[in-house]
Structure 1
Amino acid sequence: MKGIKMFLNKACIIAGLIFLLTSCNQNKDYRISEPVNQNQALQDLYINDINECKFFTAQLSVSKNRDSLEFYFLKARNSFKKVEPILSFHDINNYNFLNAPNILKVEEEDLTDIKINNPQSFQTLEELIFTDQLDVESIHKTSNIIASRLELLSKNSDLSYYQPYHILWMVRKQILRTATTGVTGFDSPVLENSLDDAVTAFAKTEQILSLYSSKFKELPLENRWHTHFQKAKTFLQSTDFNHFNRYEFITNHIDPILKLWTATAKDWKVDFPMELAIKNEATSLFSNETLSLEYFAKTTQLSSNDRQVALGKQLFNDSNLSSTKSISCATCHIEQLAFTDGISKPIGLTRNSPTLTYSAYQQGFFYDKRAGSLEGQIVSVINNSNEFHSDLKSFTKAIETDSSYVNQFKTAYNVTINQQTVRKAIADYVRSLNEWDSKWDKNIRGEQNDLTASEINGFNLFNGKAKCATCHFAPVFNGTVPPDYMDTEMEHLGVPESPVVSNGRIDPDLGRYDVFKTENRKHFFKTPTIRNIELTAPYMHNGVYQTLEEVVDFYNRGGGYGIGIIDQEYQTLPTEPLNLSQEEMDDIINFMKTLTDARFID
């Protein structure tokens, strides 16, 4: 699978702060320079790698025969992976441009500002070159555009202001990218060259860290970095893409490096000015201490306590707050079903009720992403004539008339009831529905050791041959793209209106199209989490599939294309079947069932 990229112009507050910390127009508060030899060495390394990449890319623009094109592409791609650790941190917009999937890029700012662009990236080149029919003109055009972009980068990049925390963030970002997208084939869809790419990027990351060796107070700590990098690179080179043990890679290499990273931050006495999507104290990829809820809530002052969560839960379950006094949030989101309702579509509504567990880790809410926050989603539900059939003012007034609620709000929030605190209370409860204590989480953190061979193989297939993880990204396994988590992707899978295996007809729901009327956004829907998926049947936005076996079979056949839906040109799944065996499909399902939170297991 390959998700569609939505590069939004208005990034969230914290994403904007990330940009301020890493852009050329850095605020002076953060521009206290490192000793010139270190940051100058980093600058020289970066520019040299960019120029090498530019040279090989420029050769593509004059090459005409297949052998030459393939040769120079592999050289250029390898050079780009050397550039990646610094570029992806320093200039995320240019990195995303150069590494974009070969699918239309759509920017929907509002109804008057919609941009649709064809990608001109290394992934574009990969698909143009490694194909049966060469389009040399398009290859040359794309190569020239990439080379020109690299030329601008070589002339306009300034790393002189970087602080030690920049370097540590940069190093960690590359480590996490490798674990979450790098080894999945996310940005090497044809060649599946991900493992070699990871070796190159890891080698460059180690080189970057070595430039700042004087920061280490403890020499053994620096030596441990070298040992871990060497072991990780050896492991990456030990097998091919389809047989690579990603579970072992995370448990034996990625998580130990994250622990080493936090130890290094202490050794360097780094004072981080803020937290990014990944918390500065994170020591595991799969933990409730990994991702920052503040980041996703777009605030640096998110806080909630047990009283606030309990109040939000009471509001969530209170049917007296609807106009008919018969519907609550829990009507469609039943706790025992991982906050779904077990039916294809609630009465009066057009889409399946998704799980609310882990829903806090998204950039966009509802299947069509029409709401930008949990609070916004709550208001929309209150206003919906087929749900609460109310408005926030009336909803709040109903709460104000209950003396028990008045006292609870005063105790929990130390404020009187108002529209903002009502929304926040319910949102705080929903943000608490992230347990991180499934069988999977406990095993990968080393707290227990009872995963079966089938479950581990299912994870490796999910992240490899089956290509599930190119849309459902670890650790949340939703469409929010790591390691920056700035966008939650949408897909056009070709979901049918009925569960057929041939002669399928596309479900009539137009999805994202209904928000901005963008023609090539018809039938696009947000990629949800698969955590607790064992409990959340039926599946897909229309609830068309009753079992996980049906879902996996749909993907194995090639999605909509594979069941005869061939009139939808913007489908985002490959046209070819996955060719998974029955045993492999069973293994994937067994893995997904390990993602059930402990609270739901008897």
Structure 2
Amino acid sequence: MITPIFKLKKTHTLGMCLLLIILSSCKQTSTTYEQQDPLVQLETQYKSNLNTCYLYLDSVNIATTKVGKLAYFIQSRNYFKRVEPILSFVDKNNYKSLNQPNILRVQEEDATDIKENAPFGFQVLEEQLHDDTISNQTITNTINFTRNRLGLIAQNTTVQLRDYHLLWLLRDAVIRVAVTGTTGFDSPILERSLEESTIVYKELKTIVELYKDSFSNLQLYNQWLREIESTLKGLATDFTSFNRYGFIKNHTHKQLELLVATQEDWGAEYPFQLAISNDATSLFSSSTFNLEYFSDYKQTTVYKAEKIALGKQLFNDKRLSTKQNLNCASCHHKDKAFTDGLPISANQNRNSPTLTYAALQQSFFYDGRAGSLEGQVAAVVKNEKEFHSDLETMRKAVENDTTYVAIFKKIYDNKIDGNTIRNAIASYIRSLNAFNSKFDNNINGVEHTITESEIRGFNLFMGKAKCATCHFAPVFNGTVPPNFTETEFEALGVPETTGAMAEISPDLGRYYLFNTDSRKHFFKTSTVRNVSLTAPYMHNGVYKTLDEVMTFYNNGGGSALGIQLEHQTLPLDALNLSDDEIKAIIDFMNSLEDSKV
């Protein structure tokens, strides 16, 4: 039963009556579920939840007070979370639109196809309902956009899932809760992350129950139910004190193990792998990711070790540059996690980024101008301030070395050209994903050396400090889980120099690609793995220490320095982190140093 919190208008009453009819209808048909195919039940429930989400959102429009609007918004958002596991899997683009942050959405396909769209959806509405400067008309427009999209989805969606689709769906939901759902990523003001994660898990329990007959091993089925109940108890706490480290270690990883066991029990066969390997049982392992997913170049396991060894040789070979005085290692030193320790690399305009975990992203260089590691290698070769060469010159250099010729003959069927050379170098870079840091080893139970401060730092990083809303676990870069199809760019307002009041760095970043004004000062979010080895920091190396970096973020980015950046994506409000909390976060980030890179 739905109890309105204030007197309803006639149109509002009609809407709520329709809602009651839908809910009543669902209740009446629930007794026949046992005779129905689980997929039919799943689709029926999914569409019912979509319709209820729509109707509650319609009530937000009709409510006459901010309190009333917020109350109906929360109910609508709750039902959105109920549809999230299915919607995010079967209709990723619409899910993303409905759950996008309140930031101008810019799509840059090429210089002739640039689209700028005002954001809409639940995150946007949440912020607008808490902003007294936003007009009722603006809120109404956002509601209408969001409601209309929900209506289209409800009318046009058919849920068609095979067993392996369902397993992928469950896995996506489990990972999403762990690395974005509990961080405040999509509940920026209300911070209802744990309540909403509870809703998601209750929906996952319903899905598992619907598919009870698919389990030949009922003990496994019961393990699922017990694990979800235990997870729900673990989520029953407040946002600030929630132990995200313990949650992932004791629940997320356990559920990934159950998914692998369920795949075997159901006899499900995956036709291919997505970003996460089908047999992954940990988020923090060298076997977690399917590297081929992140590459435009067809990868094979044939001669994998030999390709990596060859790529390492080429990476360190100065003969590939025109003057034979540079190699990749000139700017990417192994002992510095493949950076060079300089604010700005020699003859360059920007800081040298780490190559560790570079394979696990969708955009390369700070401005994202390359779409693959192979593309990045080619760009470096052609850059007149770097190799100042071309792929043909590299080919000739390789062909003049009989050792190289023999190796290429074996690995690449005697094919020596720009494609095979850069693939070999990229293969080496793709091997730099060790996942063997102190943090990784502890959360995987390999060792038990992590300190209370490091665990606290991780929980702050993933919670109060909001670091993980841009640096997403498990790679802690800007590539958004659980689908890992997009690497985010942020405008932070990074200054040119340190000081209380400073000018913004003149580097316009992403803007240079297509001259899109709204992308000025946007840069790719880099990984914080191995950050203990990669000082100085930011694209211009302006900050020498992690303490300086944390002070910048804690104060509210460039805005706290008096820098006026129209599209700053970093929240303008101070985080109000204490010195002790900042120390804990730095302790955690230092624990991400690989034991061997």
Name the TM-score, length of structure 2 as normaliser: 0.93
Three-state SS of the structure 2 residue aligned to 1:61 is helix
SS at match of 2:447: coil
Q: How far apart are residue 139 of structure 1 and its match?
A: 1.4
Residue 438 of structure 1 corresponds to 437
Taking the aligned partners of 1:585 and 1:349, their CA distance within structure 2 comes to 32
Note the C-alpha offset of 1:36: 6.4
Equivalent residues of 1:60, 1:139 under 8 A apart: no
Q: Indicate conservation of the 8 Å contact 1:317/1:328, yes or no.
A: yes
Q: For structure 1, which segment, 205-214 or 127-136, has the greater mean C-alpha deviation from structure 2 after superposition?
A: 127-136
Pairwise CA distance, 1:281: 0.2
Q: In structure 1, what is the equivalent of residue 24 of structure 2?
A: none
Asked whether the 8 Å contact 1:368–1:524 carries over to 2, the reply is yes
Aligned equivalents of 1:559 and 1:271: distance in 2?
48
1:372 corresponds in structure 2 to 371
Instruction: Output one character per residue of 1:456-492: Cα deviation in whole Å (capped at 9) or x when no partner.
Output: 0000000001000000001000000000000000000
What's the counterpart of residue 565 of structure 2?
568
Q: Is 2:390 the counterpart of 1:395?
A: no
CA contact (8 A) 1:64 1:136 kept: no
Measured in 2, the distance between the counterparts of 1:116 and 1:264 equals: 43
Q: Which residue of structure 1 aligns with residue 88 of structure 2? A: 88
Match of 1:325 in 2: 324
- For residues 70 and 256 of structure 1, the distance between their equivalents in structure 2, rounded to whole angstroms, comes to 36
Q: Work out whether residues 405 and 414 of structure 2, in 8 Å CA contact, stay in contact via their aligned partners in 1.
A: no
Residue 210 of structure 1: CA displacement?
1.5
| In 1, Cα distance between equivalents of 2:111 and 2:297 | 27
Task: Indicate the residue corresponding to 2:40 in structure 1.
Answer: 40
Distance (whole Å) between structure 2 residues aligned to residue 141 and residue 174 of structure 1: 30
Kindly indicate whether residue 579 of structure 2 is the aligned counterpart of residue 587 of structure 1: no
Aligned position for 2:556: 558
Deviation at 1:134, TM superposition (A): 5.0
CA contact (8 A) 2:492 2:569 kept: yes
**C-alpha distance in structure 1 between counterparts of 2:400 and 2:134, whole Å:** 71
Give, in whole Å, the separation in 2 of the partners of 1:70 and 1:421. Answer: 57
Question: Hey, what does 1:8 align to over in structure 2?
Answer: none
The aligned runs of 1:51-200 (5 Å cut-off) are: 51-159=51-159, 161-200=160-199
Q: SS at the partner of 2:109?
A: strand
Where does residue 23 of structure 2 map in the other structure?
none
| Structure 2 counterpart of 1:482 | 481
Residue 517 of structure 1 and its aligned partner are, at CA, apart by 0.3
Measure, in 1, the Cα distance between the counterparts of 2:530 and 2:274: 26
User: Residues of 1 paired with 2:562 and 2:181: CA distance?
Assistant: 32
Residue 275 (str. 1) matches residue 277 (str. 2): no
- Structure 1 residue 531 and structure 2 residue 529: aligned? yes
What displacement does 1:332 show?
0.1
| Paired residues of 1:323 and 1:390 also in contact (CA < 8 A) | yes
Unaligned runs of 5+ residues in structure 2 are 1-34
Equivalent residues of 1:363, 1:488 under 8 A apart: yes
Aligned to 1:26: none
Matched residue, 2:16: none
Instruction: Give the CA deviation at 1:300.
Output: 5.8
| Distance in 2 (alpha carbons) for counterparts of 1:412 and 1:47 | 52
CA shift for structure 1 position 592: 0.3
For residues 194 and 94 of structure 1, the distance between their equivalents in structure 2, rounded to whole angstroms, comes to 21
Counterpart of 1:355 in structure 2: which amino acid?
A: T
Alpha-carbon distance in structure 2 between the residues aligned to 1:508 and 1:83 = 44
* Counterpart position of 1:288: 286
SS state at 1:241 partner: coil
Counterparts of 2:404 and 2:183, CA distance in 1:
49
Q: Is the 8 A contact 1:308 1:413 kept in 2?
A: no
1:335-484 alignment, distance < 5 Å: 335-484=334-483
**Greater than 4 Å deviation, 4+ residue runs:** none
CA distance in 2 between counterparts of 1:279 and 1:242 reads: 32
Residue 404 (structure 1) shift:
1.4
* Corresponding residue SS for 1:116: strand
Given that residues 391 and 417 in structure 2 are in contact (C-alpha distance below 8 angstroms), is that contact kept between their aligned partners in structure 1? no
Is 2:243 aligned against 1:245? Answer: yes
The corresponding residue for 1:16 is: none
| Structure 2 equivalent of residue 13 of structure 1 | none
SS of 2:541 mapped into structure 1: coil
Amino acid corresponding to residue 268 of structure 2 in structure 1: V
Give 1:64 shift: 2.4
User: Hey, what's the Cα distance between the residues in 1 that align with 2:298 and 2:407?
Assistant: 25
How far apart are the structure 2 equivalents of 1:272 and 1:301? Answer: 18
| 1:511-560 C-alpha deviation (Å, 9 max, x unpaired) | 00000100010000000001100000010000001111111111011111
The answer to which of 200-209 and 134-143 deviates more is: 134-143
What RMSD in Å do the two structures reach over aligned CA positions?
Answer: 1.1
CA–CA separation in structure 2 for the residues paired with 1:59 and 1:299: 50
Partner SS, residue 71 of structure 1: helix
* 1:415 Cα offset (Å): 2.4
Aligned counterparts of 2:417 and 2:133: Cα–Cα separation in 1: 63
Rounded Cα–Cα distance in structure 2 between residues aligned with 1:347 and 1:289: 36
Q: Secondary structure at the match of 1:74?
A: helix
Amino acid aligned to 2:140: H
Q: Distance in 2 between matches of 1:534 and 1:410?
A: 40
Give the 3 Å change call, closer, same or farther, for CA 523–92 of structure 1 in structure 2. Answer: same
**Structure 1: 5+ residue stretches without partners:** 1-34
Which residue of structure 1 lines up, in the alignment, with residue 11 of structure 2? none
Q: State the Cα deviation string for residues 43-76 of structure 1 (Å, max 9, x = none).
A: 1011000001000011112222112101101101
Equivalent residue number for residue 549 of structure 1: 547
Cα pair 1:61 1:141 within 8 Å, conserved: no
Q: Give the C-alpha shift of residue 414 in structure 1.
A: 3.0
The one of 508, 511, 525 equivalent to 2:509 is 511
Between the aligned partners of 1:473 and 1:504, the Cα distance in structure 2 is 29
- Asked whether the 8 Å contact 1:533–1:596 carries over to 2, the reply is yes
Identity of aligned residues (%): 51
The superposition leaves residues 344-402 of structure 1 with CA deviations (integer Å, 9 ceiling, x where unpaired) of 11121000000000000010100000000000000000000010000111111111111
Structure 1 contact 510–524 (Cα < 8 Å) conserved: yes
Distance 1:298 1:419, change over 3 A: closer
| 1:301 to partner: Cα distance | 3.9
Within 1, Cα distance between the matches of 2:414 and 2:210?
52
Instruction: For residue 448 of structure 2, give the secondary structure of its aligned residue in structure 1.
Output: coil
Aligned equivalents of 1:463 and 1:346: distance in 2?
Answer: 31
Deviations 1:277-315 (A, max 9, x none): 111000011111111101011456433522111110010
Query: In structure 1, how many angstroms separate the alpha carbons of the residues matched to 2:99 and 2:415?
Result: 49
Q: Deviation of residue 192 (structure 1)?
A: 0.7
Partner Cα distance (1:130, 1:242) in 2? 21
1:251 counterpart letter in structure 2: K
Query: 1:255 and 1:51 mapped to 2: Cα distance?
Result: 34
Count of aligned positions? 562
Indicate if the aligned counterparts of 1:471 and 1:527 stay in contact, CA closer than 8 A.
yes
Structure with larger RCO (C-alpha < 8 A, sep 6+): 1
Q: TM-score, normalised by structure 1?
A: 0.92
Contact 1:165 1:272 in 2 (8 A): yes
CA distance in 2 between partners of 1:301 and 1:537 (Å): 33
CA contact 1:296–1:362 (8 Å) conserved in 2: yes
